[in-house]
Amino acid sequence: MSHAQANTLPELHRLHLAIQEVQEEIDRGPRQLRARSNTTASRLAELEAQRQKQKQLKMLADQKSLQLKTNEAKLEDLKGKLNQAASNREFDIIKGQIEADKVANSVLEDEILETLDKVDKVQAELKKLESDVAIAQAEEKKFASEVDQRRPSLEARLGSLREELQQAETYLPEEIRAAYQRLVQAHGASALSPVENATCTSCYVRLTPQNAVSIESGTIMFCRTCGRLLYPRKESA
Ligand SMILES: [Zn+2]
Give the three-state DSSP class for 202.
Answer: coil
Q: Please state the φ and ψ torsions of residue 194, each to the nearest 5 degrees.
A: -70, 150
Distance CA 60, CA 231 (A): 77
- How far does the centroid of ligand 1 lie from the alpha carbon of residue 207, in Å? 9
Whole-number pLDDT of residue 192 = 97
Q: Can you name the CATH fold of 22-169? A: Helix Hairpins (1.10.287)
Mean pLDDT for back-to-back runs of 10 residues, the chain (237 residues): 79 97 96 94 96 97 97 95 92 95 96 97 96 95 96 98 97 94 96 96 96 92 96 73
Whole-number pLDDT of residue 234 = 76
- How far does the centroid of ligand 1 lie from the alpha carbon of residue 233, in Å? 14
In the chain, where does the domain assigned CATH 1.10.287.1490 lie? 22-169
Region class of 125: left (phi > 0), else alpha (psi between -120 and 50), else beta: alpha
- How far does the centroid of ligand 1 lie from the alpha carbon of residue 161, in Å? 26
Measured CA to CA in angstroms, residue 38 lies from 29, 31, 35, 128, 132 at distances of 14, 11, 5, 19, 14
Whole-number pLDDT of residue 107 = 97
Q: Where are the beta strands (DSSP E) in 13-166?
A: none
- How far does the centroid of ligand 1 lie from the alpha carbon of residue 20, in Å? 20
Residue 187: half-sphere exposure toward Cβ, Cα within 13 Å: 16
Distance CA 105, CA 65 (A): 10
- How far does the centroid of ligand 1 lie from the alpha carbon of residue 137, in Å? 48
Whole-number pLDDT of residue 1 = 58
Amino acid at residue number 125: E
Whole-number pLDDT of residue 237 = 43
- How far does the centroid of ligand 1 lie from the alpha carbon of residue 80, in Å? 101
pTM over 0.75? The answer is: no
